């Protein structure tokens, strides 16, 4: 669950960063595109106005070159220009050289627009137009009443001074259509940004869902694998318990029980003899026969006591195999030496135990794991390998301990045993015991020339300024050297 939360948080951060970056880029591009569109529209309007003014100027020049009085020609020009409308709200306006309005919307029949009232030729808009015309002509921007809507709107006009009569001819176009186009462009950009954000959100949600589904599938798979491992482990534990119980049962039946049964028979026989001696008085027997009859129960009792002593020894051996007291009291070396010495009289195999180097202090878990490995390896070598000799070596140093069990038996197929799910429990138990310890290695080599099992523990190094020294194994220097049969 923590992994999914981290992945979701990471996806959220990535989504926010990507959304911010995309939104920033889109807004930046939209602003640049808006400026370009606005520039294109304005340039188009300026070009259109220049064209209209040039057309009006050409009309004025054509009529002014005609014959007739100047006043009549001027009226003819004004009449022609008043009829020249363009667009819905486009018209010409004309000033004379003194700044008086000669042509205005009222005279053109355009209602609602009183551009540059003749009675107020000093208005701000009129002054802007006249000054721009005297400066050589050009574009003038201002706000004015739009005839179609009777509302104030931004307007752009182009003015130019005519060569004939010194008139100023101008034409204007309202810019609210450009504002509408730019508003539509902004709305489209906002809609595109919103759609992009929605797509990114859907992508993020889909990604989180895919991660969640992948995690769910992975979790289910791991659950199945873990369940199968637990089932195999449970079967292995049960099998190991059953094998251990069977071994203890065999040890008790073949050793302790047989000794106790024979002791029981001997004691019962001695009891019968004593009862018979008590019931029968030795009236006519000579002294020698009487002594022999009394010695017979004593011999049986002595044999029974001896068998009971053997039973005690056998029980101690079985108990030592289950958990040797020496392992806790005197350490690993003493327990291994005792294990080898107990097996020597029972097997026609040359068993050897050797200590090498300094054996540092080990924890209870480490001592137990190495002892069980030695038990299992010796059991395999004595029961299955048909070995002539088995060498157990415990070697150590300041920071490591190594246990080696080597024999000259016929070996076995290690790969086949590993592939067998039901067999090889002892080998797996050895490996798992060692690998469960930190800083440990387990290796096994087998072949026709014999088998070698090696377990190695790497012990942590003390701090440089530490004064604590590893306590030597208590068994060192207190036990006689291991029996080393002649090779």
**Cα(8)–Cα(212) distance, rounded to whole angstroms?**
9
Any domain includes 467: no
Question: 304, 307, 380: which is closest to 343 by C-alpha?
Answer: 380
Backbone angles phi, psi at 349, to 5 degrees: -130, 145
Per residue in 144-157, pLDDT (tens digit) is 877 777 788 888 88
Same domain, 384 and 452: yes
Any domain includes 302: yes
Any domain includes 162: yes
> Is the pLDDT higher at 306 or at 36?
36
Count of domains observed in the chain = 3
- The pLDDT value recorded for residue 297 is 66
- Which range of residues forms the domain containing residue 257? 183-313
- What kind and span of H or E run contains 34? helix 2-64
Same domain, 188 and 170: no
Same domain, 290 and 198: yes
Any domain includes 476: no
**Cα(227)–Cα(215) distance, rounded to whole angstroms?**
17
Among the candidates 140, 174, 208, a domain finishes at 174
Same domain, 342 and 298: no
User: Are residues 267 and 304 in contact, defined by beta-carbon separation less than 8 angstroms?
Assistant: yes
Per residue in 94-119, pLDDT (tens digit) is 888 877 888 766 556 555 555 554 44
Same domain, 338 and 454: yes
Question: 134, 123, 119: which is closest to 167 by C-alpha?
Answer: 134
> Is the pLDDT higher at 355 or at 180?
355
User: Are residues 405 and 377 in contact, defined by beta-carbon separation less than 8 angstroms?
Assistant: yes
Among the candidates 174, 199, 225, a domain finishes at 174
User: Are residues 402 and 380 in contact, defined by beta-carbon separation less than 8 angstroms?
Assistant: no
User: Are residues 473 and 355 in contact, defined by beta-carbon separation less than 8 angstroms?
Assistant: no
- What kind and span of H or E run contains 168? strand 168-174
Q: Mean pLDDT, to the nearest integer, of 353-378?
A: 88
**Cα(169)–Cα(78) distance, rounded to whole angstroms?**
10
Same domain, 203 and 67: no
Quick one: DSSP state of residue 119? G
Same domain, 71 and 142: yes
Q: Mean pLDDT, to the nearest integer, of 115-129?
A: 64
Any domain includes 286: yes
Same domain, 126 and 188: no
Same domain, 146 and 226: no
CATH assignment at residue 77: 3.30.450.20
What residues are paired with 357 via a beta bridge?
396
Neighbours of 184 (CB within 10 A): 10
CATH assignment at residue 386: 3.30.565.10
**Strand arrangement, sheet containing 400-407:** 350-357, 389-396, 400-407, 450-458, 440-447
**Cα(211)–Cα(47) distance, rounded to whole angstroms?**
59
Question: 309, 295, 307, 455: which is closest to 368 by C-alpha?
Answer: 455
Same domain, 244 and 168: no
3-state secondary structure of 70: helix
Among the candidates 174, 203, 226, a domain finishes at 174
3-state secondary structure of 88: coil
DSSP state letters, 335-396:
HHHHHHHHHGGG-SSEEEEEEEE------HHHHHHHHHHHHHHHHHHHHTS--SEEEEEEEE
Same domain, 12 and 133: yes
Same domain, 117 and 245: no
Per residue in 400-459, pLDDT (tens digit) is 899 999 999 988 887 777 776 566 677 878 888 888 887 788 999 998 889 999 999 988
């Amino acid at each position: 669950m923590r992994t999914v939360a981290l992945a979701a948080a990471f996806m959220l951060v990535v989504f926010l960063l990507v959304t911010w970056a995309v939104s920033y880029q889109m807004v930046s591009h939209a602003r640049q595109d808006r400026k370009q569109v606005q520039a294109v529209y304005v340039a188009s309007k300026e070009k259109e106005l220049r064209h209209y003014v040039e057309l009006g100027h050409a009309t004025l020049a054509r009529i002014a070159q005609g014959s007739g009085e100047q006043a009549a020609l001027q009226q003819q020009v004004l009449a022609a220009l008043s009829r020249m409308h363009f667009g819905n709200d486009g018209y010409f306006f004309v000033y004379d050289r003194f700044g008086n309005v000669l042509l205005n919307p009222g005279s053109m029949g355009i209602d609602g627009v009183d551009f540059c009232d003749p009675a107020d030729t000093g208005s701000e808009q009129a002054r802007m137009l006249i000054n721009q015309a005297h400066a050589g002509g050009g574009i003038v921007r201002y706000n004015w009443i739009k005839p179609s809507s009777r509302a104030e709107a931004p307007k752009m006009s182009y003015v130019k001074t005519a060569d004939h009569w010194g008139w100023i001819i101008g034409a204007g176009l309202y810019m609210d259509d450009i504002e509408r186009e730019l508003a539509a462009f902004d709305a489209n950009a906002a809609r595109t940004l919103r759609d992009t954000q929605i797509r990114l959100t859907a992508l993020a949600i889909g990604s989180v869902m895919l991660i969640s589904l992948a995690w769910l599938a992975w979790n289910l798979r791991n659950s199945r694998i873990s369940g199968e491992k637990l089932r195999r482990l449970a079967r292995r534990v049960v099998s190991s318990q059953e094998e251990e119980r069977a071994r203890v049962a065999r040890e008790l039946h073949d050793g302790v029980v047989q000794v106790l049964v024979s002791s029981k028979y001997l004691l019962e026989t001695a009891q019968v003899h004593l009862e018979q001696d008590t019931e029968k008085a030795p009236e006519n027997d000579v002294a020698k026969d009487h002594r022999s009859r009394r010695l017979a129960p004593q011999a049986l009792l002595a044999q029974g006591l001896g068998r009971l002593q053997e039973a005690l020894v056998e029980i101690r051996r079985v108990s030592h195999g289950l958990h040797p007291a020496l392992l806790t009291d005197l350490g690993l070396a003493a327990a291994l030496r005792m294990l080898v010495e107990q097996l020597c009289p029972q097997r026609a195999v040359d068993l050897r135990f050797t200590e090498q180097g300094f054996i540092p202090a080990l924890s209870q878990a480490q001592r137990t794991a190495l002892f069980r490995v030695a038990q299992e390896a010796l059991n395999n070598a004595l029961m299955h390998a048909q070995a002539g000799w088995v060498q157990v070596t415990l070697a150590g140093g300041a920071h490591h301990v190594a246990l080696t069990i080597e024999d000259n038996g016929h070996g076995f197929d290690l790969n086949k045993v590993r592939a067998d799910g039901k067999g090889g429990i002892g080998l797996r138990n050895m490996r798992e015991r060692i690998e469960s310890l930190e800083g440990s290695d387990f290796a096994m080599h087998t072949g026709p020339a014999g088998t070698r099992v090696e377990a190695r523990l790497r012990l942590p190094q003390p701090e440089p300024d530490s004064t604590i020294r590893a306590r030597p194994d208590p068994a060192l220097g207190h036990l006689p050297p291991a029996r080393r049969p002649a090779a």
